[in-house]
Structure 1
Amino acid sequence: MKKFLVGFGAFLIIAGGVGIIQHYSLVFQTFKDEQEMYSGQSLSMVLMQSTYGLDPYIKCIISGGAFIAFSLFLSEFRNRNQLTLELIQKISNAPHSDSEVIVARETNQEEFKAPQESKEDQYTSSVDEEKDGRFYWKG
């Protein structure tokens, strides 16, 4: 796919360049042939008037460059994916003992464990602090 994109992009760039050269050579040749009839116009004015016909060739050059840039992006993206896969494999194959993992899990669970109180304890402790007939839940 990458070779096709690079080849097609290079073809479009070359076709655009050849088209521009051919366009200007035809304009210059026509100007030389008709210079005797229209002696009042200068070559710079004719070349400036003919620049509007260059749009298809310029678009070919731009699209060819875009194809080549896209193929380079795909190759870099593939390299990035390969490096990420290698990193994941290295991390998963890192030497560690199972006891270390179990101890680490237990310490994490102990750190994040919330204090457990029963609902009865929560309501009874709030009843003791009741002053104006309201129940407060300590949760």
Structure 2
Amino acid sequence: MKTKYLDIVLLEDLPFVDLVKKIEKVFNVSLPYENKKGRYIAEGQKGRYKIELIDRFDDLSELLCDEHHVLSLSIHFEEEFNYIVIENEIKKLLKNYDIKWKFGIWKDPSEPIEKNIRKIFPLK
């Protein structure tokens, strides 16, 4: 089984706990969270998606904090991977639940870094 990763930069200006609740509704899944090396990370599984929500704040240092929370999706597949189908599904979910986001970046650890440049943007 292969895996592709989609990291989505969120524009939601909410405390992490409130954002977890909002993302739980989007995917209809429970996302328990814990502090891992200074950052809260909520994790869950829904169908083909492994979902991680990463807090923008780092307890270890203010210098390590990010401007935005990140929604990281791991998508498992066995046969041909169709970016367009997955992208449309994710975009529709985020739009239907009024999740504000800036962009998403696909990552595939099996490909060279220069091939990992596929970006997606919110529906208008």
Which structure carries more relative contact order (alpha carbon 8 Å, separation 6+)?
A: 2
Q: TM-score interval w.r.t. the shorter chain?
A: under 0.3
Structure having the higher Rg: 1
| Greater percentage in strand | 2
| Greater percentage in helix | 1
